[in-house]
Chains A and B, each alone.
Chain A
Amino acid sequence: MNKLSTKHLLGIKDLTAADIQLILNTAENFKEVINRPIKRVPSLRDITIANLFFENSTRTKLSFELAEKRLSADVINFASSSSSVSKGETLIDTVNNILAMKVDMIVMRHPNPGAALFLSKHVESKIINAGDGAHEHPTQALLDAFSIKEKLGEVKGKKIVIVGDVLHSRVALSNIFCLQKLGAEVMVCGPTTLIPKYIGSLGVKVEHNLRKALTWCDVANMLRIQMERQDIKYFPSLREYIMLFGLNKKLLDSLSKKILIMHPGPINRGVEITSDVADSDQSIILDQVENGVAVRMAVLFLLAGRL
């Protein structure tokens, strides 16, 4: 298997386990490339990629842009705040106008779930989903899986707990699909109000006690509380959330084994994890960011191969 089974990367749900393995293996080669003195390879020198960000992003946008540049692609950037979208242009019109300028691939972040899928049905281009609302964030899940594999040797058979605001998290859903396809066990942990009601149907364990969850797992992925998506109050106070679901050094050190700590960023220091946990030797948060570039290079390279 050295070809992806899909034409786009809309979500992990559409990928096979073989697809995921192919991306992770290719990313390993790109990780070696980005650690060379000269980090650029000419693979995509004849490809133009548009990064469309209809929602704010720092890491993902920079990471995609860097990945594209390291592959020698031509890159154009678009942020909805400074565009004609505010004048009332529709998504399809915006994208078709960009494609008319001879763009080969689209990387899109959008606040609405399903936006990437919708676009893939209406325009002739390769679409890469860089996050669609609370639905999926496939490249984040791939880089998380890559980081776990890098630290623990493999993902299969490992126990991963996703802690926090699972309800509003695209990272959580993509991670659940990805880790399960690779043969890992997944648990979600958080206040009842922030755990989707039917999440058990995905085959994940549900736990409301952080200590129990951490005792069970090999890896803890700590999600941010997404205040901007919370239209109603989901818990009485932030202070209470921190006391029940915040990870601090004392709790981490009291566990019998050394677990890995992950975070998709941006961190709210002192909320989901304290600073001394985020900066501890068990934290692989910055490895995740480094691996993000390699994984995105792999995704772009493999999809461009199907142009």
Chain B
Amino acid sequence: MMKPRIILDSEHLEITVTRLCYQLIEVHNDFSKSVIIGLQPRGIFLAHRIQKRLIQILKKKDIQCGSLDITFYRDDFRTKELVPNATEIDFIIEDKNVILVDDVLFTGRTIRAGLDAMQAFGRPNDVELLVLIDRRLSRHLPIQAKYIGKTIDSIVSEKVKVEWKEIDGADKVTLLSNE
């Protein structure tokens, strides 16, 4: 039986997103040279949440935010059944500072594929990684996030589930573990 434990509830998630936004502003100022790219399928919700909050805080009309599908860049597509999602990047990332966004950083393989996939849209000036949850003990590749919502020490058999109001009905992060 998987026993769920709530890591972040909707109130805390809101606070975490706001804190991440202020951390981003420290580095990216007014975002005139920066863009946000969310990784499909689950990173796009965090990306859009951050975009929305940044627009509020900075009182800007728009901050560029795209979604990137990495299915065709994965190294494990023959061992798993993968369904591709839409890539929507209607800007050029040439010379831009890119903030790559995903919900959970686990083995690092998704991010590796994301970096490859991004190259099809130009040569960015700089790429940073932002994740909501960093499972720091499970990495297979030398990849670290610059902005982290929450770091957790979890073992491989445990599962982290990030839920969003937009598709799951509520904002919540839970840790499911085998008893």
Q: With CB as the reference atom, state the residue of chain B lying closest to A29.
A: B84
Give the contact stretch, choosing among A37-45, A77-85, A266-274: A37-45
- Tell me the minimal C-beta distance from A71 to chain B in angstroms: 8
**Residue pair A38, B119 in contact (C-beta under 8 Å):** yes
Query: What 0/1 pattern do residues 120 to 160 of B give for CB contact below 8 A with A?
Result: 11100000000000000000000000000000000000000
- A interface footprint on B63-94 (CB within 8 Å = 1, 0 otherwise): 00000010111000110011111110000000
**Using Cβ atoms and an 8 Å threshold, which residues of chain A touch B85?**
29
Query: What residue of chain A has the Cβ atom nearest to residue B88's Cβ?
Result: A32
What number of B residues sit within 8 Å (CB to CB) of A?
Answer: 19
The one of A3, A30, A42, A301 in contact with B81, judged by C-beta atoms closer than 8 angstroms, is A3
Residue among B72, B85, B120 with most chain A CB within 10 A: B72
Bound form: Cα–Cα A37–B123 in Å: 12
Tell me what chain B mostly uses at the interface: helix, strand, loop, or mixed.
loop
Q: A3-B81, A41-B72 are in contact. Are A32 and B86 (CB under 8 A)?
A: yes
CB-based contact B122/A37 at 8 Å: yes
Residue among B71, B84, B116, B119 with the most chain A CB within 10 A? B84
A38 close to B120 (CB less than 8 A): yes
Q: Describe A's contact surface by its main secondary structure.
A: loop
Are B71 and A29 within 8 A (Cβ)?
yes
B82 to chain A: which residues have CB within 8 Å? 2, 305
Q: Does A18 contact B (CB under 8 A)?
A: no
In the complex, which of the residues A29, A305, A307 contacts B86, with contact meaning CB atoms closer than 8 Å? Answer: A29
Note all chain B residues with C-beta closer than 8 A to A122. none
| CA distance in complex: A304, B72 (Å) | 12
Interface check A117, CB cutoff 8 A: no
* Inter-chain contact B78/A307, CB cutoff 8 Å: yes
A283 at the interface (CB under 8 A from B): no
Q: A6-32 toward B: CB 8 Å interface, digit per residue (1/0)? A: 000000000000000000001001101
**Which residues of chain B are near A37, meaning CB under 8 Å?**
120-122
Q: How large is the interface on A (under 10, 10 to 19, 20 to 34, 35 or more residues)?
A: 20 to 34
Taking a contact as CB atoms under 8 Å apart, the answer to whether B77 and A43 are in contact is yes
- Contact of A43 (CB < 8 Å), options: B73, B119, B120: B73
CB atoms of B78 and A304 under 8 A apart: yes
Bound complex: CA A71 to CA B83 (Å): 16
Give chain B residues whose Cβ lies under 8 Å from the Cβ of A39: 120
Chain B residue nearest to A306 (CB atoms) is B78
Alpha-carbon distance between A205 and B117 when the two chains are bound, in angstroms: 47
B104 to chain A, nearest CB (A): 21
Q: Does A250 contact B (CB under 8 A)?
A: no
**A301–B72 contact, CB under 8 A?**
yes
Q: How far is the CB of A221 from chain B (nearest CB, A)?
A: 28
* Cα A33 to Cα B86 with chains together (Å): 10
The reply on A36 being an interface residue by CB < 8 A is yes
Docked CA distance A192–B81 (Å): 47
Counting chain A CB atoms within 10 Å of each CB, the highest count among B73, B120, B121 belongs to B120
- Residues of B within 8 Å of A26, CB to CB, are 84
| Bound CA span A279–B72, Å | 35
Q: How far is the CA of A42 from the CA of B78 in the complex (A)?
A: 13
- Does A2 contact B120, Cβ atoms closer than 8 Å? no
Closest-CB distance, A254 to chain B (whole angstroms): 41
A42-B72, A42-B73, A71-B72 are known; give 16 further A-B pairs, CB within 8 A: A2-B81, A26-B84, A29-B72, A29-B85, A29-B87, A32-B86, A33-B87, A37-B120, A37-B121, A37-B122, A38-B119, A38-B120, A40-B120, A41-B73, A43-B72, A305-B77
- Chain A residues within 8 Å of B, Cβ to Cβ: 2-3, 26, 29-30, 32-33, 36-43, 71, 301, 304-305, 307
| A-B residue pairs, 4 tightest by C-beta | A41-B72, A38-B120, A29-B84, A43-B72
20 contacts between A and B (CB under 8 A): A2-B82, A2-B83, A26-B84, A29-B71, A29-B85, A29-B87, A30-B72, A37-B121, A37-B122, A38-B119, A38-B120, A39-B120, A41-B72, A41-B73, A41-B117, A42-B72, A42-B73, A43-B72, A43-B77, A305-B77
